[in-house]
Structure 1
Amino acid sequence: MDVDATEPDQRVVEAAAQLPARGGVTGWAALWWLGGVWFTGVGSDGDLRPVPLAVGSGHRARPRAGLEISQEVVTPANLTRSGGVRLTGALWSVSYSMRKAASDEAAVVAFDMAAFNDLVSVAELRAFVDRHLVARQGVERVRRVLGFLDENCWSPMEPVLQLTWERELGVLPLMNRPVFDQRGRFIGTPDAIDPAAGVYGMYDGGLHLAGSVRHRDIEKEAAYRSIGLEGATMMASDLADRSPFSRRLREAYGRASRLPSAERRWTIDPPRSWKDTTTVDARRALSTYDRERLLAHRRRAA
């Protein structure tokens, strides 16, 4: 059988074969190997990103096609082995990705997508920064964005929506919080919500233009409106210029502010039987049965 050299697994294995006696695969490639489904090594432009290797300062770095060489010294405590591949641990790998990211926004996306698969938590990263990254290049960026990290974003565009919302209005919305009516009946899970204002937000990529998906979106919008929530949608076309989304968001706040409180027939407080999956700690604490039932969609197929 022919091996596809563009597959992340194959790229990680081939890169790991180039490692010296010490060091490990790091960054996006290590996060993919550890189960991070969003770390495919493909950039937003569709090009393959180089596989980062942490080789240490004592190794003579030789540029190789498809590899990104880091000569930072990685202590043994931050190295691990998984499936026969030497890696930097999840916290080192995500902090490396954040420090090397093109922007603060991209750094937040990297963390949020690692948290999607419970590889890291905000509390763990905060402690890790103080313990292991004090003098590392780029550590100030990690410190700067700590307050904007979220453990419950479900796709790379959701942190973009959240950060745009915060920049425009100074409000950091909650991500993927289930919404219920006053009887505790589940209504839906908007991508973002400001519960104080009664405004939700959704990201609408190209997939949402398809007939059945768009139909479900319209039905969901109507359901939210019927219980007193006002919404704004970020389109894929808004990424280059965020002002159209900002306008729609402000209009939603205006509509929500005119809605009588009696018409707000919703809550984000779940009924007692509801299993919380909004934080890394909550997801890690689930039983095996509940993890399979509630989180199977977060894992890639074996």
Structure 2
Amino acid sequence: MSELPRFRAELPMTQSPRALGVLAAQGVGPRSLAGRNWSRSSRGFYRPASDGPTLPTQRILDVLPLLGSTGVIGGWAAAFVAGADWLDGINPYTGGHFPIDIISPALKRRSSARTRYRKGQLAEDDVVAPDDVAPITAPLRTTFDCGRWAPSLEESVVVLDVMIQQLRVVRSELTTYASEHHSLHGAAQVLEAARWAVPGIKSPWETRLRMCYCQQAGLPAPLVNQPIFDLDGQFLGEPDLFDPEAGLATEFDGEYHRERHQHRADNLREERLEEANVTVQRIDSLDLIRDRTPLVERIRRGYQRGTRRNRRLDSWSLDQPEWWRRRNE
């Protein structure tokens, strides 16, 4: 059985905001609301306070009273509700929270650190209303909006890769949609991002690494999560990025890779690849967050080492053996 999307899994751990009038009728007065047991979610609405960081799902529920009759949740929050777990509203570079986007044809409120109001008309097909959740933008529209609102082409590609992988958005349909809405600000960025987007990513950081590899290091587009085998058909590894010409495997090490058993497995896999004459380089988020100049130089040096290797020692293959094809049918 597949795991529940994070939004659904977090719902039992959340509290719905209640209006002041409702709370007063329940015997909860101003003095209680001013204490540590209650948290103000928005003007005139409160909920029981929670320990620890606020879950993305709770943040979304907190803004529902602000929607009124015309508001629709968009952006990362709409993606998260629909099942894009990797778009959780947390800034990957600072750890801070992105505001929740509310789209409405009539703007009557000011944006804040929690919410960002965007004026816009949505077609009927652009909106869906999941059970027990307020209206959100449909996946195709969500991808388009997130892609055009992204602060850079790289982050736009991240959004597209995630939506293609986790919500099965079809790239050609997105390109058509963006072309039909070319007059909207940022549509050109979505069209450019669609040229870079690929299926099959395993994390957003993998996409950031790939964009750095191609755009900043200026190297040819690598294969993504390509299985590699030895000449006897034994599985060697599936690096995040692989350039067959350079025999270069570029791996992103997330927090998961620092866990002891996973770290050991990574080391063994790296040894197998290197024994087959594959050049391996490992990158983590700090390399991408900080000044990328040293990282770009490292990537280029790795590529140069790979292109200068003695190819007669290559004992790897991209040909998938029959047992692998059967397993993945």
> Could you say which TM-score interval applies, normalised by the shorter chain?
0.7 to 0.9
How far residue 158 of structure 1 moved from its aligned partner, in angstroms, is 0.7
User: For residues 47-91 of structure 1, what are the alpha-carbon distances to aligned partners after superposition, in whole Å with 9 as ceiling and x for unaligned?
Assistant: 2221111112x3434445621111111111111111233111111
* Partners of 1:122 and 1:151 within 8 A in 2: no
Q: 1:244 aligns with which of 294, 315, 323?
A: 294
The equivalent residue for 2:47 is none
Q: Confirm or deny: 8 A CA contact 1:105 1:163 kept in the other structure.
A: yes
Structure 2 partner of 1:295 = none
| In structure 1, C-alpha distance between the alignment counterparts of 2:163 and 2:279, rounded to whole Å | 30
Match of 2:311 in 1: 261
Q: Which residue of 2 aligns with 1:145?
A: 193
**Between 47-56 and 59-68, the greater mean CA deviation after superposition:** 59-68
Which amino acid is 1:161 matched to?
Answer: L
Equivalence for 2:76 = 28
CA distance in 1: counterparts of 2:187 and 2:68, whole angstroms:
26
- Greater RCO (Cα-Cα under 8 Å, separation 6 or more): 1
Structure 2 gaps of 5+ residues are: 1-12, 16-49
Between stretches 3-12 and 268-277, larger displacement belongs to 268-277
Q: 1:237 to 1:194 in 2, by over 3 A?
A: same
- Among candidates 55, 62, 78, match of residue 7 of structure 1: 55
Could you say which residue in structure 2 is the equivalent of 1:135? Answer: 183
**By how many angstroms is 1:253 displaced?**
2.4
SS of residue matched to 2:184: coil
Determine if contact 1:20/1:55 at 8 Å carries over to the other structure: no
Secondary structure of residue in 2 paired with 1:201:
strand
What secondary structure sits across from 1:20 in the alignment? Answer: coil
8 Å contact from structure 2 (residues 160, 194) kept in 1: no
Call closer, same or farther: CA 1:272–1:70 in 2, change over 3 Å: farther
What is the letter of the counterpart of residue 98 of structure 2? Answer: R
Shift of 1:266: 1.8
Given candidates 85, 106, 124, the residue that maps to 1:37 is: 85
Whole-Å Cα distance in 2 between the matches of residues 216 and 259 of structure 1? Answer: 25
Q: Deviations over 1:77-130 (max 9, x none)?
A: 111111233111111112211211121111111111222213313222112212
User: CA separation in 2, counterparts of 1:254 and 1:64?
Assistant: 48
Q: Are 1:80 and 2:90 an aligned pair?
A: no
Aligned to 1:294: none
**Over aligned residue pairs, what C-alpha RMSD do you find?**
2.5
Q: Which residue does the alignment assign to 2:252? A: 203
Q: Distance in 1 between matches of 2:71 and 2:320?
A: 46
| Pairing of 1:60-139 with structure 2 (within 5 A) | 60-63=108-111, 66-85=114-133, 86-131=135-180, 133-139=181-187
Once the two structures are TM-superposed, the CA of residue 194 in structure 1 deviates from its matched residue by 1.0
Q: How big is the shift at 1:21?
A: 2.7
Q: Give CA-to-partner distance per residue, 1:149-180, whole Å, 9 cap, x none.
A: 12222112111110111121331112111112
The alignment's TM-score, normalised by the length of structure 1, stands at: 0.82
1:269–1:24 CA distance, 2 compared to 1 (3 A): farther
Task: Provide the residue aligned with 1:192 in structure 2.
Answer: 241
Contact 1:36 1:114 in 2 (8 A): yes
Contact kept in structure 2, 1:23 and 1:79, CA below 8 Å = no
Question: Quick one: structure 1 residues 55 and 152, their matched pair in 2 at CA, closer, same or farther if it must change by over 3 Å?
Answer: same
SS at match of 1:28: helix
Runs in 1 of length 4+ with deviation above 6 angstroms?
none
- Structure whose CA Rg is larger: 2
Relative distance call for 1:65 and 1:198 in structure 2 (3 A) is: closer
Q: What SS class does the counterpart of residue 203 from structure 1 fall into?
A: strand
AA matched with 1:46: G
Report the secondary structure of 1:250's partner residue. Answer: helix
Amino acid at match of 1:96: D
Change (3 A) 1:171 1:68: same
1:228 paired to 2:277? yes
Other structure's SS at 2:291 match: coil
Q: Against the structure 1 CA distance between its residues 84 and 210, is the aligned structure 2 distance closer, same or farther, given a 3 Å change threshold? A: closer
Count how many residue pairs are aligned between Structure 1 and Structure 2: 277
Q: Which residue of 2 aligns with 1:170?
A: 219
